[in-house]
């Protein structure tokens, strides 16, 4: 495996980051997870835009332009000759000292990893999964805007630990007002009386790229949709429920906290959206030229 590290491709075993890097010490940085489907980087522009927006919000200047970052990512995928893969794009504050002052970090660290990923077994798309509500509340916007996709994922890590203790493989996170925000690594949708609904970003949800793709699909078809505040009562009484995410795609949910959702199997709207997304994922994005010479943009 070839890893992009600060302007160079290096073997996996040689990809080393300083122990003084503030991404390692404090979770000070941003990241993106991007899928490659048959050589197509799904919604690449949207992922790059979100990366740079997250970096701007934490006052982190990425040492590559968005176009250079895109070219570096395409080159890394091509160098690894993977047609179906998961990309982890990471930008940390870079090496500094043991203090928290980011001004002590001379240069950000840029890493691009291209590997395989399977988050949910294929059979779960046929039968759905059960969720458990976690006791860990989503960090409120007054403390840290959840739309920033930062390296500090401890809030989500503690929530998934809680969900797994309850016997679930994914957990529902509520905000401090007790309303549904999102899941630990996915956005959440319900269908009720023909309406597709998902919590607004300002309720504590990350603006997922797959979430946006599903809303786009719904708006272009005859599926009525809205971003709506909701509580657990709404989840429990939904006709359908599903998750969206880069890894999850569209994952049906058939139970929440022991309450059966709808008929206890993936609903028609869920199946329809999953099929539409699977058609879209090889069309909407950037194609990799695997035969072109690998050219990496330089980092000053």
Structure tokens at 67: 């176009």
Cα–Cα distance for residue pair 249/244, rounded to 1 Å: 5
User: Rg (Cα) of the chain, in Å, rounded?
Assistant: 20
Rounded Cα distance between 93 and 152, Å, is: 12
| Helices within 5-136 (DSSP H only) | 22-26, 44-57, 66-80, 124-127
**Nearest Cα to Cα of residue 89 among 38, 51, 127, 40:** 51
Which residue of the set 149, 220, 265, 283 is catalytic?
149
Q: What's the rounded Cα separation, in Å, for the pair 253 and 262?
A: 10
Nearest to 200 by CA among 175, 237, 235: 175
CB-side neighbour CA atoms (13 Å) of 32: 28
Told to judge if 149 belongs to the known catalytic residues of this protein, a careful annotator would answer yes
The residues with which 115 forms a beta bridge, in sequence order, are 86
> CA-to-CA distance for 282 and 42, rounded, in angstroms?
7
Q: Which residues are catalytic?
A: 149
């Amino acid at each position: 495996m070839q890893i992009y590290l600060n302007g160079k491709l290096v073997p996996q075993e040689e990809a080393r980051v300083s122990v003084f890097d503030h991404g390692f010490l404090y979770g000070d940085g941003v990241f993106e997870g991007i899928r490659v489907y048959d050589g197509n980087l799904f919604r690449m522009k949207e992922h790059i835009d979100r990366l740079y927006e997250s970096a701007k919000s934490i006052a982190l200047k990425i040492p590559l332009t968005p176009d250079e970052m895109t070219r570096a990512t395409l080159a890394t995928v091509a160098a690894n000759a993977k047609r179906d893969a998961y990309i982890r794009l990471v930008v940390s504050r870079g090496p500094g000292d043991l203090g928290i002052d980011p001004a002590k970090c001379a240069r950000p660290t840029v890493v691009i990893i291209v590997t395989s990923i399977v988050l949910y077994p294929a059979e779960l798309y046929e039968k759905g999964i059960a969720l458990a509500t976690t006791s860990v509340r989503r960090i409120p916007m007054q403390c840290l805007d959840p739309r920033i996709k930062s390296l500090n994922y401890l809030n989500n890590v503690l929530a998934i630990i809680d969900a797994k203790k309850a016997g679930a493989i994914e957990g529902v996170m509520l905000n401090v007002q007790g309303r549904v925000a999102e899941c630990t690594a996915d956005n959440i949708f319900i269908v009720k009386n023909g309406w597709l609904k998902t919590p607004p970003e300002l309720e504590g949800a990350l603006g997922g790229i797959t979430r946006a793709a599903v809303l786009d699909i719904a708006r272009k078809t005859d599926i009525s949709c809205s971003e709506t505040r909701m509580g657990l009562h709404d989840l429990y009484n939904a006709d359908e429920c599903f998750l969206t995410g880069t890894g999850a795609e569209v994952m049906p949910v058939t139970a929440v906290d022991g309450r059966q959702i709808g008929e206890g199997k993936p609903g028609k709207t869920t199946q329809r959206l999953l099929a539409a997304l699977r058609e879209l994922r090889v069309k909407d994005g950037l194609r990799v030229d695997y035969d072109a010479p690998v050219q990496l943009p330089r980092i000053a």
